[in-house]
């Protein structure tokens, strides 16, 4: 499979033409969005992983095999970002979700050690409202033991009302859950991963 950087966009008016179905990756800053995308694509650093969380205020588009576009969304919830920046971020994302007809799916990444908080719930509701398939991915599963992992999944399932089978756990470090995430994406968008 071929993957390449396509374009970065800071404004809704600059969105590229809707060439292919899109899959967006959302989540708190530092949750592991870029690492997940690299692992799915088996590319080391196609998507830059961050030493400076919260810096990227752009939507980054990647062409996947001329079959789909992956969109790395700016991370939210980073304290050092100003209020003005945060509301600009909100408008950009809301505008994107609301207007993007070819946006098929959005993964919401949550650190498996944390909870589904207000931001995630807001995002989840936004996706349902705009008819975009949501997929919850619990990241950094390598940080927990098998037992803790299961306990946290059950806890997040109870908090969200999302069945535990629909919560995918993932580690960019070990590759755990890579195929589960690929399969979830393939339910919505045709991609030949090999």
Ligand X SMILES: Nc1nc2c(ncn2[C@@H]2O[C@H](COP(=O)(O)OP(=O)(O)OP(=O)(O)O)[C@@H](O)[C@H]2O)c(=O)[nH]1
Contacts with ligand X by CB under 6 A lie at 27, 29-35, 49-50, 53-54, 56, 75, 139-140, 142-143, 171-173
Residue 31 or 68: which CB sits closer to ligand X? 31
Least Å distance between CB 42 and ligand X? 15
Find the helix packing angle between 33-41 and 178-186, rounded to 10°: 80
Least Å distance between CB 170 and ligand X? 7
Q: Is 141 in the site for Mg ion (CB under 5 A)?
A: no
The partner in contact with residue 3, picked from ligand X, Mg ion, none with C-beta cut-offs of 5 to 8 angstroms by kind, is none
The partner in contact with residue 108, picked from Mg ion, ligand X, none with C-beta cut-offs of 5 to 8 angstroms by kind, is none
- What's phi and psi for 22, nearest 5 deg? -110, 145
Stretches 13-21, 28-36, 91-99, 133-141: which one binds Mg ion (CB under 5 A)?
A: 28-36
Residue 56 or 63: which CB sits closer to Mg ion? 56
The partner in contact with residue 143, picked from Mg ion, ligand X, none with C-beta cut-offs of 5 to 8 angstroms by kind, is ligand X
Residue 58 or 126: which CB sits closer to Mg ion? 58
Q: Which residue is nearest to ligand X (CB)?
A: 75
Binding residues vs Mg ion (CB under 5 A):
33-34
């Amino acid at each position: 499979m071929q993957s390449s950087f396509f374009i970065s966009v800071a404004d809704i008016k600059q969105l590229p033409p809707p060439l292919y179905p899109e899959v967006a990756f959302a989540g708190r800053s530092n949750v592991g969005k870029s690492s997940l995308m690299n692992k799915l694509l088996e590319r080391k650093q196609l998507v830059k992983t961050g030493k400076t969380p919260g810096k990227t205020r752009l939507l980054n588009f990647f062409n996947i095999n001329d079959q789909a576009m992956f969109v790395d969304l700016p991370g939210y919830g980073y304290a050092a970002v100003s209020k003005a920046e945060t509301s600009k971020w909100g408008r950009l994302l809301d505008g994107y979700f609301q207007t993007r007809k070819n946006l098929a799916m959005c993964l919401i990444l949550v650190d498996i050690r944390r909870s589904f908080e207000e931001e995630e719930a807001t995002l989840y509701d936004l996706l349902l409202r705009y008819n975009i398939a949501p997929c919850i991915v619990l990241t950094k599963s390598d940080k927990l033991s098998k037992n803790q992992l299961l306990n946290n999944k059950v806890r997040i399932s109870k908090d969200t009302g999302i069945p535990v089978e629909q919560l995918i756990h993932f580690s960019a470090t070990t590759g755990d859950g890579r195929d589960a995430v690929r399969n979830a994406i393939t339910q919505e968008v045709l991609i030949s991963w090999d």
